[in-house]
C-alpha cells in the first residue's frame, strides 16, 4: 500500500493498513520517513521513501520551475522505492492518488492488479466547476486536475516503463483517465455526497477508514485537567496548513474566544498555532476520535478526515477551508444544513468567526442534524468495504486470467 501527503492524508491509511493486517493480510506500506513510525508502531512492515529534503522544500520554492523540479524528484524517488517493494512477492497494489501514476505503471509491468484507495477524487479539487454534479462537468474537472499534475510524473513514468520493458505511453498512465482499467475505492461516506454524484462506474465509496490510535497513547494531564475544569471547549485546528497563516489565525482565535467568553482547545498542527489566555489550551497530536466527543463545537479546515471525525462525534462544525478539496467538503456541510456558514480562510476575521460560531453553538438543530448524519457514516465500514471489494476483484480476475495465479496457502500481500 503506497501513501504519501500531509498528516491528514496519512491518518486514514493507518486505519486501512491495520484493518487489512487484522483480517489476515500481509501488508507492506510504502510511505515517507516522516510517517513511517505511524505504521511501524502497529507492527506493519514499512518501506520508507527518503524524501526528507524534498518535503522540507515544499512551499519554499518561489518559481513554478523549482516547484515542478522538486515534485519530479519526489515522484522519481517514490517510484523507485515502490518498484523495489512491489517486486518482493506482492499480489495487489493499493495506492494513494499521488502515487497512482507510478503504481499503475508498475502494476502493468509486473502483472499486478492496481487499485486506487482515495480519500478525495481529483474533480473535488475544483468544487465550483462540479457544482450541481453534471457528469460532463465532473469529467472535465477530473481531466483538468490530472492534466495540471501530469508534468510532475513525466520523468518517472518514462523511467519506470523503460525499466519494466514497457512501450512508452506516458499520457495514459500518468493521468489515469480510464475508469475501465483502474478501480478506485473512496474512503469517505456516500452520505455526504450530492445526490447523483457522477463517479465513474469503476469507482465506489466504501466508507471511512478510521485512523488507528497509537497503541500506548493516553492524554496528557494538562489536557484532562483542562477538560475537567469547566464547560466543554470549542476545538480549533487547521491540520497541515503552512506557517504563513499562524500569527494571523492565532490572533483571530484568541480574540474570538475572549469576545464570546468560551473555552478553547487549539491544536497547533504544522502551522504552530497558539492561543493566549487561561481559557485556551494549545495541544499537539491527539486522536480526534478521543478528543471530539469532549468538545462543544469544532472550527477546522474541512479536510475529509477531520470532517468525518467531527460528524461521527456529533460535533457541530464550522468549516474554514483554504485549499484543495476543503471547499468541496465545506460546501457539503453547508448544503446538508450542518453548519450556518462556511468561511473561506482569506475572509476569516474575528467578527465573522464570532457571529457564525455563536449561531452554531446557540441552535441545537445543528447538533441534531450532525448526529443523524454521523449515524449514517457509522453504518459504513470502509476497511471491510475494501476487503470485500478486493475479494470480489480477485475472484473475477482469476476467472479471466487477469492476474497471476496464487499458489494454495500463499498469503496475500498488499
200 with 227, same domain: the answer is no
Is residue 413 assigned to a domain?
Answer: no
CB 27, CB 1: distance < 8 Å: yes
- Specify the pLDDT at position 7: 82
pLDDT at 277 > cutoff 90: no
142 with 165, same domain: the answer is yes
pLDDT at 177 > cutoff 90: no
- Specify the pLDDT at position 264: 96
Share of the chain above pLDDT 70, in %: 89
84 with 167, same domain: the answer is yes
- Specify the pLDDT at position 407: 30
Is residue 1 assigned to a domain?
Answer: no
pLDDT at 131 > cutoff 90: no
Q: What is the mean pLDDT of residues 293-312?
A: 94
CB 288, CB 312: distance < 8 Å: no
pLDDT at 144 > cutoff 60: yes
Domain CATH number, residue 198: 3.40.50.2000
Is residue 26 assigned to a domain?
Answer: yes
The length of the chain is 414
190 with 237, same domain: the answer is no
- Domain hosting 278: range is 221-378
- Specify the pLDDT at position 5: 85
Stretch among 175-189, 237-251, 282-296, 370-384 having the lowest mean pLDDT: 175-189
263 with 184, same domain: the answer is no
Is residue 407 assigned to a domain?
Answer: no
Q: CA nearest 340: which of 310, 370, 312, 314?
A: 370
Q: State how many domains the chain has.
A: 2
291 with 177, same domain: the answer is no
CB 173, CB 101: distance < 8 Å: yes
Is residue 49 assigned to a domain?
Answer: yes
Stretch among 110-114, 139-143, 325-329, 372-376 having the lowest mean pLDDT: 139-143
For residue 94, the surrounding DSSP H or E stretch is: strand 93-95
17 with 159, same domain: the answer is yes
User: 498542527: which residue's cell?
Assistant: 269
The rounded mean pLDDT for the chain is 87
Is residue 361 assigned to a domain?
Answer: yes
114 with 243, same domain: the answer is no
176 with 234, same domain: the answer is no
pLDDT at 406 > cutoff 70: no
153 with 275, same domain: the answer is no
- Specify the pLDDT at position 169: 60
- DSSP assignment string, 380-412: --HHHHHHHHHHHHHHHHHHHT-S----TTPPP
Q: What is the mean pLDDT of residues 18-37?
A: 94
Return all residues near 47 (Cβ < 8 A) that are at least 6 apart.
28, 29, 30, 81, 82, 84, 85
- Specify the pLDDT at position 128: 87
Q: What are the two backbone dihedrals, phi and then psi, of residue 65, each rounded to the nearest 5 degrees? A: -60, -45
pLDDT at 399 > cutoff 80: no
100 with 227, same domain: the answer is no
Number of CB atoms found within 10 A of residue 88's CB: 10
pLDDT tens per residue across span 50-94 = 998 988 887 676 788 998 999 999 999 999 999 999 999 899 999
- Specify the pLDDT at position 411: 37
pLDDT at 276 > cutoff 90: no
Of 366 and 9, more confident: 366
pLDDT tens per residue across span 185-226 = 999 999 999 988 888 888 999 999 999 998 889 999 999 999
- Specify the pLDDT at position 201: 81
Is residue 77 assigned to a domain?
Answer: yes
- Confidence category of residue 403, pLDDT binned at 50, 70, 90: very low
pLDDT at 253 > cutoff 70: yes
pLDDT at 295 > cutoff 90: yes
Is residue 213 assigned to a domain?
Answer: no
Q: CA nearest 306: which of 329, 273, 281, 284?
A: 329
202 with 161, same domain: the answer is yes
Amino acid at each position: 500500500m503506497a501513501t504519501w501527503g500531509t498528516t491528514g492524508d496519512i491518518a486514514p491509511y493507518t486505519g486501512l493498513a491495520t484493518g487489512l493486517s487484522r483480517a489476515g493480510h500481509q501488508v507492506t506500506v510504502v510511505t515517507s520517513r516522516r510517517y513511517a513510525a505511524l505504521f511501524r508502531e502497529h507492527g506493519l512492515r514499512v518501506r520508507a521513501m527518503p524524501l526528507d529534503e524534498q518535503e522540507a522544500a515544499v512551499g519554499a520554492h518561489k518559481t513554478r520551475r523549482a516547484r515542478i523540479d522538486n515534485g519530479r524528484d519526489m515522484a522519481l524517488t517514490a517510484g523507485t522505492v515502490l518498484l523495489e517493494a512491489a517486486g518482493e512477492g506482492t499480489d495487489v497494489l493499493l495506492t494513494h492518488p499521488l502515487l497512482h501514476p507510478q503504481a499503475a505503471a508498475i502494476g502493468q509491468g509486473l502483472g499486478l492488479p492496481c487499485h486506487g484507495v482515495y480519500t478525495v477524487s481529483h474533480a473535488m479539487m475544483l468544487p465550483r466547476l462540479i457544482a450541481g454534479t453534471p457528469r460532463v462537468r465532473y469529467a472535465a474537472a477530473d481531466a483538468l486536475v490530472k492534466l495540471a499534475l501530469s508534468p510532475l510524473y513525466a520523468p518517472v513514468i518514462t523511467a519506470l516503463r523503460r525499466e519494466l520493458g514497457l512501450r512508452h505511453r506516458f499520457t495514459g498512465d500518468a493521468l489515469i483517465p480510464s475508469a475501465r482499467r483502474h478501480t478506485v475505492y473512496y474512503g469517505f461516506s456516500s452520505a455526504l455526497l450530492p445526490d447523483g454524484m457522477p463517479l465513474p462506474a469503476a469507482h465506489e465509496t466504501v466508507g471511512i477508514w478510521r485512523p488507528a490510535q497509537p497503541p500506548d497513547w493516553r492524554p496528557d494531564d494538562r489536557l484532562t485537567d483542562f477538560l475537567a475544569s469547566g464547560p466543554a471547549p470549542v476545538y480549533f485546528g487547521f491540520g497541515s496548513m503552512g506557517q504563513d497563516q499562524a500569527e494571523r489565525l492565532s490572533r483571530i482565535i484568541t480574540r474570538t474566544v475572549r469576545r464570546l467568553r468560551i473555552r478553547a482547545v487549539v491544536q497547533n498542527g504544522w502551522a504552530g498555532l497558539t492561543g493566549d489566555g487561561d481559557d485556551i489550551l494549545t495541544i499537539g497530536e491527539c486522536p480526534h476520535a478521543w478528543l471530539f466527543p469532549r468538545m462543544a463545537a469544532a472550527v477546522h479546515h474541512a479536510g475529509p478526515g477531520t470532517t468525518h471525525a467531527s460528524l461521527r462525534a456529533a460535533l457541530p462544525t464550522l468549516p474554514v477551508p483554504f485549499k484543495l478539496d476543503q471547499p468541496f467538503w465545506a460546501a457539503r456541510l453547508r448544503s446538508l444544513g450542518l453548519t450556518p456558514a462556511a468561511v473561506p480562510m482569506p475572509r476569516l476575521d474575528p467578527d465573522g468567526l464570532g457571529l457564525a460560531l455563536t449561531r452554531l453553538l446557540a441552535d441545537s438543530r445543528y447538533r441534531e442534524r450532525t448526529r443523524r448524519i454521523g449515524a449514517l457514516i457509522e453504518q459504513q465500514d470502509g476497511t471491510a468495504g475494501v476487503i470485500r471489494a478486493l475479494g470480489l476483484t480477485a475472484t473475477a480476475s482469476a476467472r479471466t486470467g487477469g492476474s497471476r495465479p496464487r499458489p494454495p496457502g500463499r498469503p496475500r500481500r498488499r
